[in-house]
Every structure is written in structure tokens, then in C-alpha cells.
């Protein structure tokens, strides 16, 4: 193989393969090829791919052996049991929090006025299907403000002025 062809091969492969991969490909070409000539680049790349697969298999086998060794160890088994216990505890706490939220919601509903309870029941009917769908009456749709709207506007304006004054200072 003359120098120009050697450079062409190396320039073709230089950024794609490592020295170890190149060495393996050349050795395999010398061992396996029957013709007394340098193989084409595609054939050398096939050897490189084979090398990469072998290396990947070696890495996988090492990781699998390490995993199996860990699984067999009492420390790993104890760690797994502890993680399962922690997951169960987290789930129990989550369920307790959900139950607490439900109780707070029920207490809030119980604290509503009669009119608010009616409106709440209309807007949030039970999910068990016991309450059939019905149209709202004019009386149920009529909104009566609990406070004077003008007073509410004045109060909101005062709060806005206060906030704007705080931002300026």
C-alpha cells in the first residue's frame, strides 16, 4: 500500500475510529482476508463495528455481573427493603394529607350559609349519581351581593394606592 493510499485511509477514518479500533480492524483483516491486498474501507469499518459490539458486550457483562453481585449482597437487599418501606411511608403520608384535605373541605362546606350551601350543591353535585341533572331556577341564578359594591370599589382603590406607594418607596 503506497503512502498516498495510506493517508487516504487514515484521513477517512481518523475522526471516526480510535487507534484501538484501527488496530483490531487491521489485525482481523490480516487474519480473515484470503486475498493478498488491503481490504476496502467498508470492510475495515465492518471490523470496527464488530470491535465496538464486543466492547459494548464486555461493558454490559461487567455491569450485569456487578448488579448481580449487588443483588446477592445483604447490604443491597437491606437497602431495597428500606426503599420499599420509605415508599410505603410516603404513600401513607400522602393518603393522610388527602384525608386531611377532605376533612377540611367538609368542614368548610359545613360552615357555609344556607344559601351558599344550596349554590355549592348546585355547582358541585354529588358524583354518585344520586342527584339528577336539573335546570337552575331564576331564583338560584339571581346574584345578590353581600356587600355594597361602591364600598368594595373604594376599598380596592385604597389597597391599590397603598401597594403603588410601597413600590415607589
Could you read off the pLDDT of 83-135 as tens digits, one per residue? Answer: 999 999 999 999 999 999 989 988 888 888 888 887 777 777 766 665 556 66
Share of the chain above pLDDT 70, in %: 92
Output the average pLDDT for the chain: 84
Determine the average pLDDT of the residues in 31-60: 89
Residue 53: its pLDDT value, please? 96
Is the four-CA dihedral 65, 66, 70, 71 of positive or negative sign? negative
Enumerate the domain spans of the chain: 3-72
More confident residue, 102 or 37: 102
The span from the CA of 39 to the CA of 19, in Å, is 18
Residue 123: its pLDDT value, please? 77
> Residues 119-145, buried b or exposed e (16+ Cβ, 10 A)?
beeeeeeeeeeeeeeeeeeeeeeeeee
Amino acid at each position: 500500500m503506497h503512502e498516498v493510499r495510506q493517508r487516504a485511509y487514515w484521513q477517512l477514518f481518523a475522526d471516526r475510529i480510535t487507534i484501538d479500533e484501527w488496530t483490531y480492524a487491521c489485525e482481523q483483516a490480516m487474519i480473515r482476508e484470503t486475498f493478498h491486498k488491503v481490504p476496502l474501507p467498508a470492510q475495515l469499518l465492518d471490523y470496527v463495528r464488530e470491535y465496538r459490539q464486543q466492547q459494548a458486550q464486555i461493558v454490559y457483562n461487567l455491569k450485569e455481573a456487578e448488579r448481580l453481585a449487588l443483588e446477592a449482597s445483604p447490604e443491597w437487599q437491606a437497602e431495597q427493603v428500606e426503599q420499599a418501606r420509605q415508599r410505603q411511608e410516603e404513600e401513607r403520608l400522602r393518603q393522610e394529607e388527602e384525608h386531611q384535605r377532605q376533612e377540611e373541605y367538609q368542614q368548610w362546606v359545613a360552615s357555609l350559609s344556607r344559601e351558599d350551601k344550596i349554590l355549592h350543591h348546585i355547582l358541585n353535585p354529588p358524583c354518585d349519581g344520586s342527584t339528577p341533572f336539573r335546570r337552575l331556577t331564576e331564583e338560584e341564578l339571581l346574584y345578590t351581593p353581600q356587600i355594597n359594591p361602591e364600598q368594595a370599589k373604594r376599598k380596592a382603590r385604597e389597597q391599590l394606592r397603598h401597594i403603588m406607594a410601597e413600590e415607589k418607596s
